[in-house]
Structure formats: structure tokens, C-alpha cells
Structure 1
């Protein structure tokens, strides 16, 4: 898979979670990428999802999305 297609897949996963009502709660970056933690509260119960982001473009994308949710 090309880097561009990998970026599109990662962007779609981020958008999917954001559209379902999740918010970015935390980010852990290391040499193997970024682990983005999403959180959603449903009936006083917190659900979390974690995505492993590999591409630099997707890192920029979730950074912009974090700024927008503030």
C-alpha cells in the first residue's frame, strides 16, 4: 500500500471515531508512530479506543482535529 493510501485509511479511521462522538483524549508518540486515544461517554460509562497512526500526514491531521475540538 502506498503512503498516500495508508494516510487515507488512517484519516478515515480518525473521522469515523470523531463522527461517532469520540473526542481525542491523549496522544503518545514514539519512534513507531503515534498512539491516539479517543474517549466517549455513554450513560456515565466511558468507552475508549486507541489508533496507531504511522504517517506524518495523519499526525498532522489529528493535530488539527484536536485543535478544532478545543
Structure 2
């Protein structure tokens, strides 16, 4: 994978993560493996969505979002 395509993949994953937060979802659970991570979201109505995150930069990004969420007491 070229550096540019990896960066483009990160941007897509970042946008999907941001979109989930914009829709009112919060991170409920994370399952990591050697290929990436599955991030489970839940909204106030109890609906669940799961995103697979593959790029290292997007994994760091959702970790920061999770810390912010925790500090906000969500």
C-alpha cells in the first residue's frame, strides 16, 4: 500500500468515526486484533453500530476520542 493510499484510508476511517459521534453515538466497546480494531458504538436509544478500523493512525484517533469521551463522563 502506498503512503498516499494509506493516508486516504485513514481520512476515510477518521470521517466515519467523526460521523458516528455526530449522529450521537458513543464508543461502547473496542476489540483489537493484529489486523485492526472493531469499535462498537451505542446511541441513547440503545442502537448499536460497529466499525472496523484498520489504519494505525485511525486507531490512535479513536483512542483520543475515547479518552475525551471518558473525561466528559459519557
Tell me the TM-score normalized by structure 2: 0.87
Q: Going by fraction, where is helix more abundant, 1 or 2?
A: 2
Aligned match of 2:63:
63
C-alpha RMSD over aligned residues: 1.0
CA distance in 2 between counterparts of 1:39 and 1:64 reads 18
Aligned positions of 1:1-40 closer than 5 A = 2-40=5-43
Tell me the TM-score normalized by structure 1: 0.91
Structure 2 gap ranges (5+): none
Q: How many residues align?
A: 67
Report the Cα offset of residue 57 of structure 1. Answer: 0.2
